[in-house]
């Protein structure tokens, strides 16, 4: 017997059903976050005549891709949008896009937006501020994408029992390291020559990567050694 088109096509999902499916991999996802991604034109489910959202398999996979890029690579939404346009097979210039997005840090997020995009609650954000890990720009200013990344990373560390008060030690060490790097790249970054400034940004990205790699090796050595293994 011939299979009908209706039998072949998966049944569309409501936003609640999509949220339940995504929670299996992304525990902090919520209906409001999915709606926010729609507001940002990152996903466009079809609507019924009554205005209800209906998601197909492509919409669900697109949401998974967005959430993985946020969680695993801490990409801001504007870079994720570029990733989606470029397609999954074109990854060649991702490091450049990521570097520019992090350094330019042009967005200004209100506290509510910071909480919605990161999944953090008001108490957690306030605690990060109290320990100097994040701060709004100026009096009454907004938060940038770098602040958003800090909140997301801090949330993951909190899952291991490392709260903001523990992360203060990381912040102190990084501020000292930043002083060393600033001495290397500051002349280039402050140059009026565009090519020299671009070279300075590239040097800063490379130094940051090397510093992160060095930190990882030292941590592995020290923790592994302290365990007596």
Largest CA distance in the chain: 75
The domain segmentation of the chain, as residue ranges, is 12-91
Tokens of 71: 């969680």
Q: What percentage of the chain reaches a pLDDT higher than 90?
A: 26
pLDDT at 116 over 50: yes
Highest mean pLDDT among 1-5, 69-73, 83-87: 69-73
Tokens of 62: 């697109």
- C-alpha to C-alpha distance for 209 and 221, rounded to whole angstroms: 18
| pLDDT at residue 156, as a whole number | 87
Predicted confidence band of residue 195 (pLDDT cuts 50, 70, 90):
confident
What is the average pLDDT value for the chain, to the nearest integer? 82
For 131-145, write each residue's pLDDT tens digit.
999 988 755 678 888
The partner residues of 55 in beta bridges, in order of sequence, read 13
| pLDDT at residue 4, as a whole number | 52
| pLDDT at residue 77, as a whole number | 79
| pLDDT at residue 194, as a whole number | 85
For 96-110, write each residue's pLDDT tens digit.
555 555 555 567 889
Highest mean pLDDT among 31-45, 92-106, 194-208, 213-227: 31-45
Q: Which fold has domain 12-91?
A: Multidrug-efflux Transporter Regulator; Chain: A; Domain 2 (1.10.1660)
For 149-158, write each residue's pLDDT tens digit.
899 889 989 9
Pairing of strands 53-54, 46-47: antiparallel
Strands (DSSP E) along the chain, which ranges? 46-47, 53-54
Q: Label residue 134 left, alpha or beta by phi (over 0 means left) and psi (-120 to 50 means alpha).
A: beta
Terminal-to-terminal C-alpha distance of the chain? 64
Per the CB < 8 A criterion, the answer to whether 53 and 15 are in contact is yes
The partner residues of 46 in beta bridges, in order of sequence, read 54
pLDDT at 89 over 50: no
- C-alpha to C-alpha distance for 30 and 88, rounded to whole angstroms: 25
Question: Among 44-48, 64-68, 199-203, which stretch is predicted with the lowest mean pLDDT?
Answer: 199-203
Nearest of 119, 174, 43 to residue 15 by alpha carbon: 43
For 156-184, write each residue's pLDDT tens digit.
899 899 999 999 888 888 888 888 888 88
pLDDT at 17 over 80: yes
Q: Please tell me the total number of residues recorded for the chain in this structure.
A: 229
CB atoms within 10 A of CB 86: 14
Q: Is 160 exposed, middle or buried (0-12, 13-18, 19+ CB in 10 A)?
A: exposed
């Amino acid at each position: 017997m011939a299979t009908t088109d209706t039998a072949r096509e998966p049944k569309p999902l409501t936003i609640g059903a999509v949220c339940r499916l995504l929670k299996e991999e992304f525990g902090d996802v919520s209906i409001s976050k999915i709606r926010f991604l729609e507001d940002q034109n990152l996903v466009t489910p079809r609507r019924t005549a009554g205005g209800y959202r209906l998601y197909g398999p492509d919409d669900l996979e697109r949401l998974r891709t967005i959430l993985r890029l946020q969680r695993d690579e801490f990409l801001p939404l504007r870079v994720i949008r570029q990733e989606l346009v470029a397609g999954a097979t074109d990854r060649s210039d991702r490091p450049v896009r990521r570097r520019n997005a992090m350094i330019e840090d042009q967005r200004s997020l209100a506290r509510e937006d910071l909480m919605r995009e990161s999944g953090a609650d008001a108490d957690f954000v306030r605690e990060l501020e109290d320990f100097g890990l994040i701060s709004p720009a100026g009096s009454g200013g907004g938060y940038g994408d770098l602040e958003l990344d800090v909140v997301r990373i801090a949330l993951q560390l909190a899952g291991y029992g490392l709260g903001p008060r523990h992360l203060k030690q990381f912040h102190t060490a990084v501020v000292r390291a930043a002083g060393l790097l600033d001495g290397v790249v500051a002349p280039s970054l402050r140059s009026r020559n565009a090519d020299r400034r671009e070279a300075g940004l590239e040097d800063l990205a490379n130094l940051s990567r090397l510093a992160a790699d060095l930190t990882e090796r030292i941590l592995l050595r020290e923790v592994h050694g302290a365990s007596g293994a």
